[in-house]
A and B are shown apart, each in its own frame.
Chain A
């Protein structure tokens, strides 16, 4: 099976140290939304970084393929790889505060991608930026273009980052916990916006989050990650009705649902953790040379 983004047997390690990603495989079809779920430290963000080529220098890809639109990115020379990624993929980052340059106005930060990567003339880029700001429902886009990041609210900044991501009409967007830093009401608006934009531009979306509630509203399919290993992959409906892997079931049980207040919140039981740790250990033994 292959999609617009196809990751096959990706293994990433700390140079000379622990394994971060274990034989990860997943597919995101063109125009599909795939969720990547797991607790903090499971390695979800690292998958996105591996695709975009922004892994920290202490990590290295040991084996596996990252196939974007039919080409394995690993086989490309670095410059060509950066060009491909820049032209066809984009990131919606987690923290809108640090993702924007505080000393530059908003306008140039959006147009920079168009002008530098795609070689657009400045005037056309600015017109497009305004268009995008309207698409993400920012009131008074002209004024916002001239503003600095600190003059805007967190929700507005996230909208700008979303607009910025869609600017070059990428075929793939990686959203790395885009609403974790936001209020619950703002989160709803932003997630709606992301879904809207994704549908309109028919973009493939890899959505990283630790919140199962969010996943159920936004994604078509999902992968559950534990310690860098995919423990379950499913489509939405089947997953929430009948999660197969005990770890997935435990995660679901730990998510508070306000309609059931008397049920106690169960953290993932030790037995389940032991079970999945055993799986990981077995995988490591098989993988060791």
Chain B
């Protein structure tokens, strides 16, 4: 089992409503989320804005600390693990971020961006590994010398992927990574991810608000609504026979490229 999440809760202090004296009221973002991720699975995490899906992703990577419940990664309880201990484990779970503009440091070259995590985790043979990573995402090796703003959105996203896989992690979280891309780049990135999952034996969690993308890539789907799991199951089953009303609403909202089919 890659991940075991039990009754996960996360709340933030609501600074907008903080009284003068005393603690701010808590904004509950995750309200008791439970699910498993098997090794080698490709899990889609779906929900609208405000559903808590990004927060869930960041909690799984321990960029945030849960306020309740437990998260276990490969048998180890990481729920309240200190940063020093976590650092040792970090190379096993990595993340690819949504916005290719803000996820790459604009003042570092691509090569440096990919090599950064490698250096931190004490790996050697850096130039070779960087080249390898670029090859795997289908980018020319010469791109290592470029700055992010010299690449297109789709290319930047692939650098983000290269950075994540260079460490050969066991698990990758992809947070809305195709949302800002046009159709062609989107297709390229999704195909690439599918290949990498197969070739590298990755476990992948894919966050998106777009069900049509999820269907293409994932074998299991988790539907979140207002911080709670409303449905979870195998992709085909969920699409053929959605149980929850919210799932049906999400499915119905997708504009299929067919002018004759009315929008239910």
Q: Quick check: do A and B touch in the complex, using CB within 8 A?
A: yes
Name A residues whose Cβ lies closer than 8 Å to a Cβ of B: 39-41, 154, 183-188, 191-192, 210-217, 236-237, 240, 250-252, 254-259, 261, 264-268
Contacts of A267 in B (CB 8 A): 184-185, 187-188, 191
By beta carbon, the residue of chain B nearest A265 is B187
Q: Please report whether the interface of chain B is mostly helix, strand, loop or mixed according to DSSP.
A: helix
State whether the Cβ of B25 lies closer than 8 Å to any Cβ in chain A: no
Establish whether residues A265 and B190, one from each chain, have CB atoms under 8 Å apart when the complex forms.
Answer: yes
**Known: A254-B184, A254-B187. Contact between A184 and B259, CB under 8 A?**
no
- Closest CB of chain A to B250's CB: distance in Å? 6
Given contacts A188-B263, A255-B183, A211 and B255 within 8 Å (CB-CB): yes
CB <8 Å contact, B153 and A188: no
CA distance A240 to B256 in the complex (A): 11
Task: Give every chain B residue within 8 A of A41 (Cβ-Cβ).
Answer: 152
* Contact yes or no, B257 A216, CB < 8 A: yes
Interface members, chain B 144-198 (any A CB < 8 Å) = 152-153, 182-188, 190-191
Complex Cα distance A154/B50, Å? 11
Known contacts A185-B249, A210-B183, A212-B183: A257-B212 contact under CB 8 Å? yes
Assess whether B253 is in contact with A251, with CB atoms less than 8 Å apart: no
Interface residues as binary, B204-244 with A (CB distance below 8 Å gives 1, 0 otherwise):
00000111110110000000000000000001100100000
Could you list 17 further interchain pairs (A-B, Cβ under 8 angstroms) beyond the known A240-B259, A240-B260, A254-B183? Answer: A39-B184, A184-B48, A184-B210, A184-B211, A184-B253, A185-B250, A188-B252, A211-B183, A213-B255, A214-B255, A236-B259, A251-B183, A256-B213, A265-B186, A267-B187, A267-B188, A267-B191
Q: B84 at the A/B interface (Cβ < 8 Å)?
A: no
Task: Evaluate contact between A154 and B255: CB separation under 8 angstroms.
Answer: no
Q: CB distance A216 to B255 under 8 Å?
A: yes
Contact indicator B259/A268 (Cβ below 8 Å): no
* Chain B residue contacts of A212, Cβ below 8 A: 183, 257
A187 CA to B211 CA in the complex, in Å? 14
Residues of B within 8 A of A (CB): 48-49, 152-153, 182-188, 190-191, 209-213, 215-216, 235-236, 239, 249-260, 263
Given A184-B48, A251-B183: A264 and B191 within 8 A (CB)? Answer: yes
Q: List chain A residues, Cβ under 8 A from B184.
A: 39, 250-251, 254, 267-268
- A240 CA to B258 CA, complexed, in Å: 7
**Whole-angstrom distance between the Cβ of B130 and the nearest chain A Cβ:** 25
B263 touches A258 (CB 8 A): no
B209 partner residues in chain A, CB cutoff 8 A:
183-184
What are 27 of the A-B contact pairs (CB < 8 Å)? Answer: A39-B184, A39-B185, A40-B182, A41-B152, A183-B49, A183-B209, A184-B254, A185-B48, A185-B253, A187-B253, A188-B252, A188-B255, A213-B255, A216-B255, A216-B259, A217-B255, A237-B259, A251-B183, A254-B183, A254-B187, A256-B216, A261-B239, A265-B186, A265-B190, A265-B191, A267-B185, A267-B187
A198 → chain B, closest Cβ, in Å?
Answer: 15
Alpha-carbon separation in the docked complex, A41 to B215 (Å): 28
Would you call A261 and B185 a contact (CB within 8 A)? no
Nearest 6 CB-CB pairings of A with B:
A213-B255, A265-B187, A267-B187, A39-B182, A258-B212, A256-B212
Contacts of A259 in B (CB 8 A): 256
Q: Complex Cα distance A266/B213, Å?
A: 13
Using CB atoms, name the residue of chain B closest to A273. B184
Asked if A252 meets B257 with Cβ closer than 8 Å, knowing A154-B49, A258-B215, A268-B184, the reply is yes
* Given contacts A184-B210, A210-B182, A267-B191, A258 and B239 within 8 Å (CB-CB): yes
Given A185-B48, A185-B249, A267-B191; A257-B182 close (CB under 8 Å): no
